[in-house]
């Protein structure tokens, strides 16, 4: 089974939990999903958070980053399909409010951008899960994606 890991900084806000739980449940029919939360650091946050992120990385690493490639949902679906051909696991990284270190950026095999807007990192988790679910829906010709 395809494996998706999400490594993200910070605990999720209560009001976002229903959406996260919904998309996580929906994804079970397409992949094995693992979410690892890294504690938000109080001082030297980027360095400390990034050190913890680096410990959790495996497989093909995709960094959610403003400098990454912007693509359509269809292109994202196609990208995931191609990646799963040679990589049994894909790890997505969502950094904290201050971003990630250059070390994490260099470790990333690919960078993706979900638009030039700034999103709270907790909300980004919902957006990422929804787009992964949509990508599987597109690949499997389900009516979810219109």
Distance CA 102, CA 106 (A): 6
What average pLDDT score do residues 119-141 get?
Answer: 95
Establish if 11 belongs to a structural domain: yes
Average pLDDT over residues 113-118: 93
Token duo for residue 103: 């070390």
Domain at 10, CATH number: 3.40.1280.10
Average pLDDT over residues 100-115: 97
Average pLDDT score over residue span 112-134:
95
pLDDT value for 144: 83
pLDDT at 18 exceeding the cut of 70: yes
* 50 assigned to some structural domain: yes
Domain count, the chain: 1
Q: Which residue, among 109, 114, 141, 116, has the nearest Cα to 125 in the 3D structure?
A: 114
Domain of 78 in residue numbering reads as 3-139
If pLDDT is split at 50, 70 and 90, which confidence band does 146 have? low
């Amino acid at each position: 089974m395809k494996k998706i890991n999400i490594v993200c900084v910070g605990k999720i806000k209560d009001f976002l939990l229903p959406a996260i739980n919904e998309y996580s449940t929906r994804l079970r029919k397409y992949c094995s999903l693992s979410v690892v939360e890294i504690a938000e650091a109080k001082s030297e946050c980027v360095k400390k958070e990034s050190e913890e992120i680096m410990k959790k990385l495996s497989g093909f690493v995709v960094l959610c980053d403003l400098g990454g490639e912007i693509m359509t949902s269809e292109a994202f679906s196609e990208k995931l399909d191609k990646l799963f051909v040679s990589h049994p696991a894909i790890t997505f990284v969502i950094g904290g409010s201050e971003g990630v270190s250059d070390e994490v950026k260099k470790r990333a095999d690919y960078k993706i951008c979900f638009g030039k807007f700034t999103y709270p990192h907790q909300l980004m988790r919902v957006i990422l899960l929804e787009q992964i679910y949509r990508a599987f829906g597109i690949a499997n010709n389900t009516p979810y994606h219109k």
